[in-house]
Structures are given as C-alpha cells and as structure tokens.
Amino acid sequence: MAQEVNAVPQRPMVTLVVPVYNEADIFVASMTALHAYMTSLSDRWAWELVVIDDGSTDLTGPLADTFAAAHDNVRVHHQRTNLRLGQGVRDGVALSRGDYVVTFDCDLSYAPEHIGRLLDTIASTGAQVVIASPYMRGGATRAIPFSRRVMSRWANRFLSMTAQGRISTITGLVRAYDGPFIRDLDLKAVDVDVNIEIVYKAQILRAQIVEIPAVLDWTFIRDHRGRQRLSGRLVWNTLKSLVSGFLFRPFMFFFLPGVLLSAVAVVAGLADRHWLSALSLLLGIQLLSLGFITLQAKRYFEELFHLGTTLHSQLRAPDEERLRDQ
C-alpha cells in the first residue's frame, strides 16, 4: 500500500569535501581509506565525496579522475590553476548536495573516524558548525613536528582569546556544517583563513558552534612522506591566521595598550614624573579612542553582514538549485 513507501526512513545526505593540492604521494592511500570509511557509514548516511583538485602540478589530478571512475559516489572538480584553500572550500560547498557538509584533510592527520563523530554530534545537537578540536580539553596531538605543533597551538590560543575564548581550535579544516547554513554563508577569504572567517561569520549570525575533542596525529603522513614539507608556507599561513584574529576583536589591540598607558600616566603622575605622565596620557587616550572607533566599525560590519546574509540566502536559492541539478 502507498503508506508503506512513505514509511521507509530517509537517510540524511552527507557531502565529504576534500580539497587537495599536490598530494600525489598519499592521494590513493588516503582516498581509499576515506571511501572505505564512508561506505561503512552507508546504513546511516547517504553520502558523496567531492574532491577539489586545486590545479595540482603533480599527478594528483589524473589520480583523482581514475579514483572517481573506479569508485561510487566520488566527484572531482579541477581548478585550472592553484586558487588556494579558500576557493577550494567555497567550490566544494557550492557543489555539495548534502544535508550536512564535512570538510576534511587529505593527509589523514585526523583519522576518518572523526567524520562519524562530527556527524553524530551535528545531528544530535542541531548545531550549524561542529569543529574537530585537538586543542580543547580531551583533545590530543601526536607525532607533530615540534615547530608546527608550537606554532599551531599558539596561533589557536591567541585566536581563541580574540574570539572570546569559547572555541579552542579556530584554524582547523576538519569540521561538519549544516548544509543550507554553510551554502548560504557569504565567504570571501582566499586561503587558510577561510576556516577562521567561517567561525567569525557564524558567530555574528548567532549560529551554534560545538567542538568535539579530536586527535591530530601525523603518524600516517610521517610514514608516507618521511619529513615535513612546506615549512615556509606554514609560517606564512600562521601569520595570516594571526592577522585575521584582528577581524574578531580589533578593539582589543587598542583597548588593552590604551588602558595600560593610562595606568602608567596615573602612576607617573603620582611619582611627579609629569612629562612621562602627560605623554602616556596622550597616547593612552588616542589608543582608547581608536578602540572605540574600531568597535563601532565592527558593529556596523556585523549589522551589514547580517542583513546581507538574509538577502543573499533568498537571492541565491535558484542558483543553488541549478548547481545541484547539473
């Protein structure tokens, strides 16, 4: 009878987005593991795997095509040149059809089991963003080269402070998103800072962001690649992340020194150091005023972003349907 058909429970759909750039040495091993893991989730989730090959100059592109031809549920999108991670994430999201979108690292520095945990959490909490977090309590890092570990941890600590201290891992790519939410988020960042931009904009929209403890483990990458590569790029990426911390709370950069200098002015005044006192007071007041101005600018931006997003989501709906029907 007709109602029997309706009784079949629908599995929610997940899009796993994996941006890749010059990963030929690990690509097949990594994708095979991810594909096998997603297959093991098939009784709970319908799924697709979207690979964004970002103009790789090694054999990643052809390897990805061969892999997609030989495996179910895999699509590959090639960029003509290297457009960097921000565009990769944006395109992966635009091509996604899932009720949920998971972005994942090709180097398996997070074990595939994180995907299942991210999905369970996003489904049970109804959050818009769930972050795999090695830096929260209960999370861990293993076999990470020293310089990388120190830089990443401190960048996240700093960013966590500028983002009001509630999120411990702000730079990470490994996350689950509510599909409609992330597809509607108007993202602009060019590179790795896209992950920070998402958190920042999700906070403006009062979205629910949840972290789960994660293990960041470089054993796989060390076994396959031997040594760390791209360390110049790592330093550059870390610097860029720190600069985008300015996005979160620009006023902190002015208020804190401003308050400090005002305190110096009072102390110097009490100690009859009039010149020092006057100078500190002058600088302190200037910094505090700048702090107020940036605070106001940030408020304006947030208000505009909120309004823009509402309009954007309404205007974009037909566009999205077109992409999905292709």
Ligand X SMILES: Nc1nc2c(ncn2[C@@H]2O[C@H](COP(=O)(O)OP(=O)(O)O)[C@@H](O)[C@H]2O)c(=O)[nH]1
Binding site for ligand X (CB under 6 A): 19-21, 23, 52, 54, 82, 84-85, 88, 105-107, 109, 173
DSSP 76: E
For ligand X, the closer of residues 147 and 310 by Cβ is: 147
- Give the x-and-dash track for 108-147 against Mg ion (CB under 5 A): -x--------------------------------------
Please state the separation of Cα 133 from the chain's center in Å: 11
Is 115 within 8 Å of 37 (Cβ atoms)?
yes
For Mg ion, the closer of residues 95 and 192 by Cβ is: 192
d(CA 13, CA 47): 5
Is 58 within 8 Å of 91 (Cβ atoms)?
no
DSSP 22: S
d(CA 182, CA 196): 14
d(CA 112, CA 126): 22
For ligand X, the closer of residues 92 and 258 by Cβ is: 92
Partner interacting with residue 73 (select from Mg ion, ligand X, none; CB below 5-8 Å by kind): none
d(CA 253, CA 242): 12
For Mg ion, the closer of residues 24 and 281 by Cβ is: 24
For ligand X, the closer of residues 92 and 250 by Cβ is: 92
Least distance (Å) from ligand X to the CB of residue 83?
7
For ligand X, the closer of residues 20 and 185 by Cβ is: 20
For ligand X, the closer of residues 231 and 310 by Cβ is: 231
Q: Looking at 12-20, 97-105, 266-274, 281-289, which segment touches Mg ion (CB under 5 A)?
A: 97-105
Least distance (Å) from ligand X to the CB of residue 170?
12
d(CA 267, CA 73): 68
Is 25 a binding residue for Mg ion by CB under 5 A? The answer is no
Residues in the chain: 326
- Three-class DSSP category at 199: helix
Is 30 within 8 Å of 108 (Cβ atoms)?
yes
Size of the site for Mg ion (CB under 5 A): 3
Partner interacting with residue 173 (select from ligand X, Mg ion, none; CB below 5-8 Å by kind): ligand X
Q: Which of residues 258-317 bind Mg ion (CB under 5 A)?
A: none
Least distance (Å) from ligand X to the CB of residue 216?
8
Q: Looking at 47-55, 101-109, 293-301, 316-324, which segment touches Mg ion (CB under 5 A)?
A: 101-109
Least distance (Å) from ligand X to the CB of residue 311?
28
The order of strands in the sheet holding 100-103 is 74-79, 46-54, 13-20, 100-103, 175-178, 129-133, 209-213
d(CA 288, CA 155): 25
Least distance (Å) from ligand X to the CB of residue 88?
3
- Six-digit token pair at 253? 């950069």
For ligand X, the closer of residues 110 and 251 by Cβ is: 110
Q: Looking at 14-22, 102-110, 209-217, 306-314, which segment touches Mg ion (CB under 5 A)?
A: 102-110
d(CA 317, CA 266): 58
Is 200 within 8 Å of 5 (Cβ atoms)?
no
Site residues (vs Mg ion, CB under 5 A): 105, 107, 109
